[in-house]
Amino acid sequence: MGRINVTKSSMPSFEEYTNELRPVWESRWLSNRGMASKEFETELKKYLGCENVWLFANGHVALEVALQALGIKGEVITTPYTHVSTTNAIVRNGLTPVFVDVKEDNYTVNPELIEGAITEKTAAIVATHVYGFLCDIEAIDKIACKHNLKVIYDAAHAFGVTLNGVSAANFGDAAMFSTHATKVFHTIEGGIVTYKDAEMFKYMRCLVNFGFINEEEVVRIGTNARMNEFEAVMGICNLRHIDEEIAKRRLVGERYIERLAGIPGIKLIEPEKGLVWNYAYFPVIFDGYKENRNEIKAKLEKEDIYARKYFYPTTNCFSCYKEQYGSLDVPVALHAAECVLTLPIYADMTVEDADRICDVILR
Ligand SMILES: *Cc1c(COP(=O)(O)O)cnc(C)c1O
């Protein structure tokens, strides 16, 4: 029996990719928003049902640029139960992260704790849609309106997710999708920002290209964050198959649910009503089970199965943040980080593989 990794990238056929690549190859326009990028943007807008998208070299830099483009200054309310990218993007913009705890049910920011963390310096909320489960959009919106805060979602996990038919691209002032090779939808490396205010376009365009507004003038201190054309071609191809890929993930996810739901000491996250989930990750919380998370992980590894402690540790506990934020009062996040294991899930995984994994866990 072969090795099972936590994920495996979805790929178009080699022929599909090379056929799509040919005109780019012949044009020798390899980056700086060429024909493939423009086509990819058009297709993305259709798929995501949103007005404004911008393409980036990766998800992290996309989030950094979105925060800069929105002109955020001061304090940002966020959670430590996320990829370190979220926290780094805040701090690298010269902003102060103010951590609040997450909700028990899906580990996204607890809106009840947000108002208590607001000061006169608070400018924004940066919240992660964890594992493709969405934050409490409505509650966050209300608070943001009342206190005049910007809302930016780290939607790196949420490509293809909809709530009552509306895609995750349409919530908040901006949303960032990572299209890294390990995500549900990928462009090898890449990122996408969707945004509400069409005016933001000016800032994105200049910030991804060092701050140039024309050949001779740099108006803002930008970076180099451009997606290249080979990546855009991968995006065009993968977007054609995304719905089938998610449907294949669903078969694996449903088998996990069938086998693991209701087992004492094992908790699964349930999608809220109206949510169409993308099965981006399959988190299982071992809390009071006969073996703890680390023991289960080790047991799986003995069988050549590689699950992931994700998110572990919480970002406030990394050595670069520990001194300042280590002793935070975020008990739900800290507990989740000790108990959660994301099981392998990808489109080409078989239901038999899921059974093999469940057998090891339940043995
Ligand atoms: C993957 C990921 C990122 C970073 O995206 P990259 O494309 O790898 O830079 C940020 N936030 C979350 C939640 C992620 O999962």
- Residue 342 β-bridge partners: 283, 308
Instruction: For residue 1, tell me if it sits in a domain.
Output: no
Indicate the pLDDT class of residue 356, thresholds 50, 70 and 90: very high
* Atom from ligand 1 closest to the CA of residue 61: 9
C-beta 186 within 6 A of ligand 1: no
- Residue 9 Cα to ligand 1 midpoint, Å, equals 15
Q: Residue holding tokens 């988190």? A: 283
Q: What is the pLDDT of residues 145-197, one digit of tens each?
A: 999 999 999 999 999 999 999 999 999 999 999 999 999 999 999 999 999 99
Backbone angles phi, psi at 105, to 5 degrees: -75, -35
CATH, residue 60: 3.40.640.10
Amino acid at 26: E
- Residue 59 Cα to ligand 1 midpoint, Å, equals 5
According to DSSP H, which parts of the chain are helical? 14-27, 35-48, 59-69, 84-92, 114-117, 137-147, 200-207, 229-260, 293-302, 319-325, 331-339, 351-362
Q: What is the pLDDT of residues 124-133, one digit of tens each?
A: 999 999 999 9
What is the pLDDT at residue 203? 94
Q: Are residues 78 and 197 in the same domain?
A: yes
Last residue of a domain, one of 236, 258, 281: 236
Q: What is the pLDDT of residues 22-78, one digit of tens each?
A: 999 999 999 999 999 999 999 999 999 999 999 999 999 999 999 999 999 999 999
Residue 316: both structure tokens together: 């406030």
| CA-closest candidate to residue 356, choices 340, 343, 347 | 343
- Residue 165 Cα to ligand 1 midpoint, Å, equals 24
Q: Are residues 296 and 226 in the same domain?
A: no
* Atom from ligand 1 closest to the CA of residue 89: 10
Work out the average pLDDT over 226-236: 98
User: Which residue range(s) make up the domain with 247?
Assistant: 241-362
What is the pLDDT at residue 262? 96
| Percent of the chain whose pLDDT exceeds 70 | 100
- Residue 266 β-bridge partners: 286
What is the pLDDT at residue 325? 85
Q: What is the pLDDT of residues 248-301, one digit of tens each?
A: 999 999 999 999 999 999 999 999 999 999 999 999 999 999 999 999 999 999
- Residue 60 Cα to ligand 1 midpoint, Å, equals 6
Q: Are residues 65 and 178 in the same domain?
A: yes
CB 95 within 8 A of CB 76: yes
Residues 6+ apart with CB under 8 A from 332: 101, 102, 103, 104, 107, 110
- Residue 80 Cα to ligand 1 midpoint, Å, equals 14
C-beta 7 within 6 A of ligand 1: no
C-beta 88 within 6 A of ligand 1: no
What is the pLDDT at residue 328? 81
| CA-closest candidate to residue 125, choices 164, 65, 171, 59 | 171
C-beta 180 within 6 A of ligand 1: yes
What is the pLDDT at residue 48? 98
Instruction: For residue 269, tell me if it sits in a domain.
Output: yes
